[in-house]
Amino acid sequence: MSISIKWFPHSWFQIKTIDKIIYIDPAYLTTYFKHYPKRIEFAKWPDPIDGLPEELEKGDIILVTHDHADHCKSVTINRLSRSNTVVVAPKRCVKKLGKKIRIIEPGEEISVDNVSIKAVDAYNTKQGSSTKKVHHKGNGVGYLITLEAKTIYHAGDTDFIPEMRALGAVDAALLPIGGTFTMDMPEATRAAISIKPKIVIPMHRFKANPQEFKNKVEAKSNIKVVPLQIGEVYHLR
């Protein structure tokens, strides 16, 4: 049985099985995608509320990595939620999403309807390639999501951090490559080779060329890199 993985900017994914729909970091809406990746200055990013990028199904689980507006947006989350949708997020997201969320911290593991969700660290480092050190340790998370006997790692906004070396077996790694707020392509290449997933899907790209990232990783490893277009699906088998 395959798991479908669909990407929207920056780090928004839909993960879908025959009976589960999970969203990670659903944020900006239709108009925003018309500008991606041309606008990369934080202060200039539009924040429209004029519809989803397509008719998306409601989610069973919604995971949020941190409280920045391009990852944590209540309007989008509300549109993708039913009354019984479980929303999981770090404590700093309570101000935007309300107290009904399931708060999670790095190192904590929970189970929701046979889906294992483990929060892991995600942060900028002094030596990392990110030029804006706005993600501090303990404020945000990445996720290890295990379902249908597959583990998907969503790194969140992060540099290449030591904790990545201890993630265990990963089938698909969703890694930022854009630089500025996260690791850039060379650093993400080192991260991918350290994690050793079967496939990598680049996210949080900005002006980084995902094909160049694919060439770098695949030249140095047996890892398959899958650059997705907006709304494109990869089937993990």
Number of other residues whose CB lies within 10 A of the CB of residue 157: 29
pLDDT average, residue stretch 194-212: 95
pLDDT average, residue stretch 2-21: 94
Please give the mean pLDDT across all residues of the chain: 90
pLDDT average, residue stretch 29-46: 49
Is the pLDDT confidence value at 50 over 60?
Answer: no
Is the pLDDT confidence value at 35 over 80?
Answer: no
The pTM for the full model equals 0.92
pLDDT reported for residue 52: 66
Superfamily for domain range 3-236: Ribonuclease Z/Hydroxyacylglutathione hydrolase-like (3.60.15.10)
Digit-coded pLDDT (tens) for 104-142: 999 999 999 999 999 999 999 999 999 999 999 999 999
Please name the helix (run of DSSP H) or strand (run of DSSP E) that holds residue 14, with its range, or none.
strand 12-16
Rounded Cα distance, 74 and 14, in Å: 17
Is the pLDDT confidence value at 44 over 90?
Answer: no
- Reference 166, options 106, 220, 224, 217; nearest CA is 106
Share of the chain above pLDDT 90, in %: 79
pLDDT reported for residue 1: 67
35-39, 126-130, 156-160, 189-193: least confidently modelled range: 35-39
Q: What is the token pair recorded at 130?
A: 């990110």
Q: Are 61 and 115 in contact (CB under 8 A)?
A: yes
pLDDT reported for residue 10: 86
pLDDT average, residue stretch 3-22: 95
3-class state of residue 102 by DSSP: strand
Is the pLDDT confidence value at 36 over 60?
Answer: no
pLDDT reported for residue 110: 98
How confident is residue 75, by pLDDT bands cut at 50, 70 and 90? Answer: confident
Cα angle: 85, vertex 144, 10; to 5 degrees: 75
28-37, 112-121, 187-196: least confidently modelled range: 28-37
Is the pLDDT confidence value at 166 over 50?
Answer: yes
